[in-house]
Every structure is written in structure tokens, then in C-alpha cells.
Amino acid sequence: MKTTLLLLTVLFLGSSLQAQNKQMESQGLVNIKSVDPSIKVALMYARSDNFCGRTLYADLHDAYMLPRCAKALKKAQAELKRRRPDLSLCIFDATRPMSIQQTMWDVVKNTPHYFYVSNPARGGGMHNYGMALDISLCKASWSEALWRPGSAPCRIDTIPMGTKVDHMGSRSHIDREETILTPAVIANRLLLREVMQAAGFMPIRTEWWHFNLCTRAWAKANLRVIK
């Protein structure tokens, strides 16, 4: 009986994941693994240890984005490998459905941290158009097989960046790093920015891990919101 229930659960979860993947693909998005399988993926909102304190991506474990974004990210990975073959880009979030954006906004909207999450009522952010990434650097030797969705602790071999991805505080900002961070951490952040900017991505002031491939105005004029 237990074996049957376990099998049914696995089949149900697999079906849900496939449905979510098809939903993403139907909106013109691509799985980064189909473009560059060497890029690591560990979606932080498929786990509960994020700023919301719960799992938001129950049926999404792959990093989807518009083809233009995936092509640029492949270029960034190539530049990183040229400079540091021992490292890899690691995606913590990519395309984010607007429904998830609303959930995040509801968590921060009445707090001092409201500006870390784009307001859905104002069109959301670049994650909601498939043109933004939350990304860091990790050891190329780190195996994604060690990463699991859910609530169990999981260690990712990222190099020191001063804070974890999605930390809400001044140490996450990039405009005054030299006053609060060590030279080694600053060098690591600079490496990430350099390889991403070489591929056309733009950093933002308040989150060292966040990069956009276009402006908000261009996205709202030319792209559709991801559902």
C-alpha cells in the first residue's frame, strides 16, 4: 500500500512539473539547460528557505527565460569559463510568473523592505517578462544532484559574495561595497558583474545578484507578462 501511494505521488509530481514546463514553453520561454547545460540551476523559490519563508514554486524547478536572454547568458558563461574555468554561473531565479510576484509583494508591501520587490500593480519587474536573472557564482565541480526542492537544508558551493541571494539589507547593495565588504568579496562580485555585463546584462543598485537584459520601459512596450 505504501509503495503504491509513493508511486502515485511521484507520478503526480512528475505530471505537475511537465504541465508547468509546457506552460512556460507555450509563452515562448526556453529552459536554459537546452541552451547551455553547463549552467547550474538551484531555484531558491522552489524551497522554503527564502525571504517569504515558504515554497513558492511547487511545480517549477527549471530556469526558463526568453531565447534572447538565454543566448546572452550562454555568452556570460563562456566569458566566465575563459577567465575562471573552475567556476560556473548558478541561477537562483529566472522567469517569475506574475502570480508569484504578487505573493512576494504581499510579504513586503507594508515593510521597510518594500523596494526590493517590484509592485505587480505597476507592471512588476523584469523577472515577469523573462528578461531578468538572480544569479551567483559557484564551484564548477558542485553537483546539482545535491540540490533538492523542499525544506531540507541544502548547501550550494557558491563563492563568498558577502550575503546570501535575496538578503534584504545594505550589504546587498553594490554602490558602497568598499566600505562594508572585504576585498575578496568585492573581487568576486566584480567578476560576476563583469561577465554578465560583457553579455549585455545590467546590474541594479540594491541587489548584487540581480541582472536585467532590458529596461522596464522596453519590456512593457515590447513584451508580454508571463503568467
Residues with catalytic annotation? Answer: 207
Q: Which residues are annotated as a binding site?
A: 127, 134, 210
- Please return the burial class of 1, using the count of CB atoms within 10 Å of its CB with bins 0-12, 13-18 and 19+: exposed
Q: Grid cell 517549477 — which residue? A: 60
Q: Which residues are annotated as a binding site for Zn(2+)?
A: 127, 134, 210
**How wide is the angle at C-alpha 47 spanned by C-alphas 46 and 50, nearest 5°?**
110
Q: Grid cell 545578484 — which residue? A: 209
**How wide is the angle at C-alpha 203 spanned by C-alphas 189 and 166, nearest 5°?**
70
| 132 beta partners | 212
